[in-house]
Structure formats: structure tokens, C-alpha cells
Amino acid sequence: MPAISRGLRGEPFDVEYRVVRPDGEVRFVHSQGSTIRIHRGARTAHSAPSRTLTDLKHAEEELKRTSEQLRALSASLQSAREEEGIRIAREIHDELGSTLTSLRWELEGIKKALCEPGTVLPGET
């Protein structure tokens, strides 16, 4: 229910609204008030002092923009970590694979040398 309608029924109201000044500047205002009954059923609005919320609204917008940037930066950082993990895993896989292949060839050479009769192994005289 709109705040002013409550105020017209004698209930307290609490409302924020936007004011566009003649120079085009947008200001945000917060007002609280209630209706006071005057004799013979006439009503008039009695309002507590309004306060300007423009700086608060601008700070909220800046906080929202900063939060979005932080979220994007965090996602980018997570993506970079994952890519680095994949790169390291590939590098380890390639090095380990290369080393194991070299060892296999050396073992096959040793096996072949041991299986041939009269073969002298290095270090034997």
C-alpha cells in the first residue's frame, strides 16, 4: 500500500522518492510523517524533516558496481588457476612420459643384452 495513502488514513508513513531538479540533477529524499486530524474532520499532513539520500544512493550504486567488478575478477582468477593447473598437469605428464619411455628403452636394451649369449655388460671384465 502506498505510504501516502496510509498517511491520509491517519497512519504513519515512511517514503523514499526521487526529485529531478530544474538543472537535471537527480536527488533522492526520505520523508516520514503522519496525519494530524484538525477539528471538523479536516486533515493535514504533518511531516518530520526530510533528509537527502542522494549520497547514500550514489554510494550504493558504486558498491554494486564494485561488487560486480570483484565478482568478475574472482571468476577470472579462478579460471586462470584452473588453466595453470591444466598446464602444470600436462607438463608433468609430458616429462614423466618422456622419462618412462627412456627407461623402457634402456631396460629393453639391458634385457636384450642379458638374453644374448656371451654378451659382456658394461662394468664387467
Residues 6+ apart with CB under 8 A from 4: 13, 15
Give yes or no for a contact between 16 and 53, defined as CB atoms under 8 angstroms apart: yes
Residue 57 pLDDT > 90, yes or no?
no
Beta strand pairing status for 26-37 and 13-20? antiparallel
Please write the tens of the pLDDT for every residue from 70-125.
999 999 999 999 999 999 999 999 999 999 999 999 998 888 888 877 766 666 65
Please write the tens of the pLDDT for every residue from 6-29.
555 667 778 888 888 899 888 888
Question: What does the H/E/C string look like for 73-118?
Answer: HHHHHHHHHHHHHHHHHHHHHHHHHHHHHHHHHHHHHHHHHHHCCC
